[in-house]
Amino acid sequence: MLLNLITPELGLIFWQAVVFLLLLFVLGKFAWKPILKGIKEREASIADALAAAEKAKSEMAKISADNEKLMNQARAEKDEMLKKAQQTAKELVEEAKENATKEANKILEEARQLISSEKKSAMAEMKKEISKLSLEIAGKLVRKELASNDAQKTLAEQLLNEIKPN
C-alpha cells in the first residue's frame, strides 16, 4: 500500500504528459514569443541606455577638456590684461613725472626770468634814483659854489679855457 502511494499509475503519467505537452504548446504559441520579445526589447533598451551613458560620458570628458582649455585661455588673457594694465599704469606714472618735471622747469625758468626782469627794473630804478640824487647834490654844490659872483666868473673862465677851440 505504501508502494501504491509512491508509484503513480500509467494513466496518470500519460495524462500528465499530455497536459504538460499541451501547456508547452500553448505557452510556446502565446506566451514565449511575447516574453522573449519583451526580454529582447529590455536588452535593447539597456544596451541603448549603456551606449547613451557611454556617449554622455565621452561628451562630458570632451566638455570638461574644453572647459579646462577655456579656463586656461581665460587665465592667460587675464594675466595679459593685468600685464598691460600694469604697463599702462607705469607709463602713465612716468608720463606724469615727466610732465611734472617739465612744468617745474618751466615754472623755475619763468621765475628766473621774472627775477631777472625785476632785478633789471630795480637796477634801472636805482640808477634813476642815484642820478636824481647826484643831480640834486651837484645842484646844491654848484649853488653853494656859485653863490658869489667871483666864484661864477672863475667857473666861467675855467670852462672857457677847457673848451678852447682847436
24 pLDDT higher than 70: yes
| 59-63, 120-124, 133-137, range with the lowest pLDDT | 133-137
Q: Which residues contact 152 (CB under 8 A, 6 or more apart)?
A: 146
Look over the chain and give the mean of its residue pLDDT values, rounded to a whole number.
87
Q: What number is the average pLDDT over the span 57-74?
A: 94
CA separation for the pair 163, 166 (Å, rounded): 9
What are the boundaries of each domain within the chain?
24-159
Q: What is the pLDDT of residue 3?
A: 60
- Where on the phi/psi map is residue 165: left (φ > 0), alpha (ψ -120 to 50), or beta? beta
pLDDT in tens, 83-123: 999 999 999 999 999 999 999 999 999 999 999 999 999 99
Chain position carrying cell 667857473: 155
